[in-house]
Amino acid sequence: MLTTLNILKIVIIIAIAYIASKILEFIYVKRLKMRKKEKSVIIPLKRITSLIIYVIAFISILLVFEIDITAAIAGLGIGAIVIGFGLQEIISNWISGIIIITGSIYRIDDVIRVGDITGVVTDITLRSTRLKTYDRNEVIIPNSTMIGEKIINLTAGRNELISSISFTIDYKCDIDKAKKIIEDVLKKKEEVTVDEEEKREIRFIVRTKKWATEIETLFWIKKPRDEEFIKSSITEAVKKDFERKKIIPPLPDRLRKDPFKPKK
């Protein structure tokens, strides 16, 4: 029966739940400012505790109306089994979300690769993970899918990333000259870290191909989320320097004479 006393009790229960939720939110926000690396753990934990508080408040309101919670739960037993099949995927996502959060597989602001998708983790909930790709698209992936896929954490909590660009030049061009041009461009870029003491070096892998030499360049960059833009800027600068210093791309086959080809 809805009496004045019951209304007062309901108001008090809701007020307590609201205040408790805000106090916990204040504690979490304060902790988040102190430890930014725990962002991916604190945010989902805040959501879970808020949910628990309001569930307790809801049960308390049922008690105010003298509803037998035990009988209600027993009555829902069979229905819960039926509903459970429908919620199987959601529950799977929640369990996967807990594994991701507690296992620190990746955190918010990490750059990860899942299948053929590479992006920055912008949010982790119990149900899904949000990624922002380099072309600025937002991808939402269910956590059960994340757990089932091979995940490569490219940053692992660090605000740096090892990246690579491959340059292909004509096989007659001077390899050392080309490497020096690439190295000079990289050292001028503020986004590139070069520190031999910290093992942040520029490294080259040279591969020879028909009429061509491929120079794969490995280097460390800051701001992993801007990797593609940084690589684009580096590629453009290297190309311009190659042109000025006569480092040319491989010539087409039709412009070459194969010395081993029999003469007609």
CATH number of the domain where residue 170 is located: 3.30.70.100
| Shared-domain flag, residues 165 and 149 | no
Residues 167, 139 share a domain: no
- pLDDT number for residue 180: 94
Low-confidence stretches of the chain (pLDDT < 50) are 78, 82-83, 259-260
pLDDT recorded at residue 84: 52
Residue 82 covered by a domain = no
* Residue 16 shares a structural domain with residue 67: yes
Domain membership flag for residue 59: yes
In a domain, 223, yes or no: yes
pLDDT at 82: 47
pLDDT at position 261 is 55
- Whether 168 and 189 map to the same domain: the answer is yes
Q: What is the pLDDT of residues 124-138, one digit of tens each?
A: 887 889 998 877 788
Domain count, the chain: 3
Q: Is 257 part of any domain?
A: no
- Of 131, 153, 175, at which residue does a domain stop? 153
Do 101 and 53 lie in one domain? The reply is no
The answer on 222 and 171 residing in a single domain is yes
For the chain, the DSSP string reads ---HHHHHHHHHHHHHHHHHHHHHHHHHHHHHHH-GGGHHHHHHHHHHHHHHHHHHHHHHHHHHTT--HHHHHHHTHHHHHHHHHHTHHHHHHHHHHHHHHHHTS--TT-EEEETTEEEEEEEE-SSEEEEEETTS-EEEEEHHHHHHS-EEESSTT-SEEEEEEEEEEETTS-HHHHHHHHHHHHHH-TTEE-BGGGTB--EEEEEEETTEEEEEEEEEEE-GGGHHHHHHHHHHHHHHHHHHTT--PPPPGGGS--TTSPP-
Identify whether residues 24 and 65 lie together within a single domain.
Answer: yes
218 and 175 share a domain?
yes
Domain stop point among 41, 75, 109: 75
Q: Does 20 fall in a domain?
A: yes
Q: Are residues 142 and 205 in the same domain?
A: no
Task: Please check whether residue 231 lies inside any domain of the structure.
Answer: yes
Does 88 map to a domain? no
How much is the pTM?
0.57
Identify the domain containing residue 226 by its residue range: 160-244
pLDDT score at 147: 84
pLDDT given for residue 240 in this prediction: 94
Q: What is the domain-level CATH number for residue 137?
A: 2.30.30.60
Residue 84 lies in a domain: no
135 and 170 part of one domain: no
